[in-house]
């Protein structure tokens, strides 16, 4: 896949405080990129820099092969659609009227574009109710329709699922899939809840305290080895020495001062137990475990409110 947007060591300092530091991310054409991180991690600031709303303190942004500069790259920025923070509408006008007005204001009014945008997000083309009677989910859809009217190459949505009920969340997920599959759109979606994006994202970028701690293809994450044997011992170094010598243990990780996780699928629970007992290595506990996707990301994020 070709690269649509790339940032290189993007940083932002507010009043001497580093909110975002050295973010280098790559968004490929046609993918759904999930931007995951706890509240305050810096997601909105990164999105605002990408869309030219905030000037970076350092670093570069490249979109469609061209540098993006705040206040200068207007033609390029028109090829992005975004909803950062909640979309605001004229409450007393209908959804259609809001889109028509927006089109006129932006200088590209076209009734067909309004129809197409409304049907793409699954809103009724003939609904004449004022927006103030819309549910939050409908308003989010209308916001996406508005952002889509120019058929942007990249759609940037900041926490679009926030506040929706489970049905609304499911519908929104289906909408994202449809936009990506049927409209070939590339989406950058932020969230602080893994469960909201893990099912739809092709790539997840994990941000924590202003830094991108990991950028992973979901395919790779889903295909990882999730089963492991966990043993707790007061003497991890001796346990490891025995296991390496006797069983040729290769793949393991120290998960704490007393915890060893063994990912070697060729090594059985019994053989580990036998080797350690024979060598007289004290063991507090010993079990087979499986790491969920959630555990995996929690580990990357290091706690916080990502659930």
Ligand X SMILES: Nc1ncnc2c1ncn2[C@@H]1O[C@H](COP(=O)(O)OP(=O)(O)OP(=O)(O)O)[C@@H](O)[C@H]1O
> How big is the site for ligand X, counted in residues (CB under 6 A)?
12
Give Cα separations from 16 to 10, 13, 56, 80 (angstroms): 16, 6, 13, 30
Decide: is 37 part of the binding site for ligand X (CB under 6 A).
Answer: yes
Please select the residue that binds ligand X; options are 41, 144, 155, 267, rule is CB under 6 A. Answer: 41
Q: C-beta of 115: minimal distance to ligand X in Å?
A: 33
Decide: is 302 part of the binding site for ligand X (CB under 6 A).
Answer: no
Q: C-beta of 19: minimal distance to ligand X in Å?
A: 3
45, 52 contact by CB (below 8 A) = no
Please select the residue that binds ligand X; options are 4, 5, 25, 45, rule is CB under 6 A. Answer: 45
86 vs 286, beta carbon nearer ligand X: 86
Decide: is 110 part of the binding site for ligand X (CB under 6 A).
Answer: no
From CA 126, how far away is CA 133, in angstroms rounded?
15
Contact region for ligand X (CB under 6 A) — 37-45, 108-116, 142-150, 286-294? 37-45
The candidate with the shortest Cα–Cα distance to 91, out of 124, 127, 163, 139, is 139
146, 98 contact by CB (below 8 A) = yes
Decide: is 39 part of the binding site for ligand X (CB under 6 A).
Answer: yes
Decide: is 55 part of the binding site for ligand X (CB under 6 A).
Answer: no
Q: C-beta of 198: minimal distance to ligand X in Å?
A: 18
39, 305 contact by CB (below 8 A) = yes
Contact region for ligand X (CB under 6 A) — 42-50, 196-204, 269-277, 278-286? 42-50
Decide: is 42 part of the binding site for ligand X (CB under 6 A).
Answer: yes
Please select the residue that binds ligand X; options are 21, 43, 139, 141, rule is CB under 6 A. Answer: 43
| Residues of span 128-167 touching ligand X by CB under 6 A | 159
Decide: is 87 part of the binding site for ligand X (CB under 6 A).
Answer: no
Contact code string over 177-216 relative to ligand X, x by CB under 6 A: ---------------x------------------------
The β-bridge partners of 33 are: 188, 203
Decide: is 19 part of the binding site for ligand X (CB under 6 A).
Answer: yes
Question: Which pair of tokens denotes residue 292?
Answer: 């969920």
Alpha helices in 226-268 (DSSP H): 236-247
From CA 287, how far away is CA 139, in angstroms rounded?
49
- Per DSSP, which regions of the chain are E strands? 3-14, 17-23, 26-28, 32-36, 58-63, 66-67, 80-83, 154-157, 186-191, 203-208, 211-217, 227-232, 252-254, 259-262, 285-290
Q: Which residues are near ligand X by CB under 6 A?
A: 14, 19, 37, 39-45, 159, 192
């Amino acid at each position: 896949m070709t690269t649509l947007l790339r940032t290189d060591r993007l940083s932002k300092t507010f009043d001497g405080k580093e909110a975002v530091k050295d973010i280098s991310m790559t968004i490929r054409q046609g993918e759904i990129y999930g931007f995951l991180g706890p509240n305050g991690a810096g997601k909105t600031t990164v999105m605002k820099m990408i869309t030219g709303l905030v000037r970076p303190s350092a670093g570069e942004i490249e979109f469609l092969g061209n540098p993006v500069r705040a206040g200068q790259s207007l033609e390029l920025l028109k090829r992005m659609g975004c909803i950062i923070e909640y979309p605001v509408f004229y409450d007393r006008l209908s959804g259609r009227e809001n889109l028509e007005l927006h089109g006129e204001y932006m200088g590209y009014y076209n009734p067909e574009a309004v129809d197409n945008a409304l049907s793409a997000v699954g809103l009724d083309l003939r609904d004449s109710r004022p927006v103030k009677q819309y549910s939050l989910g409908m308003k989010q859809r209308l916001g996406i329709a508005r952002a889509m009217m120019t058929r942007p190459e990249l759609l940037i949505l900041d926490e679009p699922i926030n506040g929706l009920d489970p049905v609304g969340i499911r519908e929104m997920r289906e909408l994202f899939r449809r936009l990506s599959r049927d409209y070939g759109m590339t989406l950058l979606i932020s969230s602080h809840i893994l469960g909201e994006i893990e099912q739809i994202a092709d790539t997840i970028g994990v941000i924590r305290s202003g830094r991108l701690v990991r950028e992973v293809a979901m395919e790779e994450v889903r295909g990882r080895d999730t089963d492991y044997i966990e043993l707790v011992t007061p003497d991890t170094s001796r346990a490891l020495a025995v296991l390496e010598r006797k069983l040729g243990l290769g793949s393991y990780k120290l998960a704490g001062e007393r915890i060893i996780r063994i990912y070697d699928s060729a090594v059985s629970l019994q053989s580990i137990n036998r080797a350690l007992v024979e060598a007289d290595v004290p063991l507090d506990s010993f079990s087979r475990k499986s790491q969920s996707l959630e555990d995996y990301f929690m580990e990357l994020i290091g706690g916080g409110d990502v659930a």
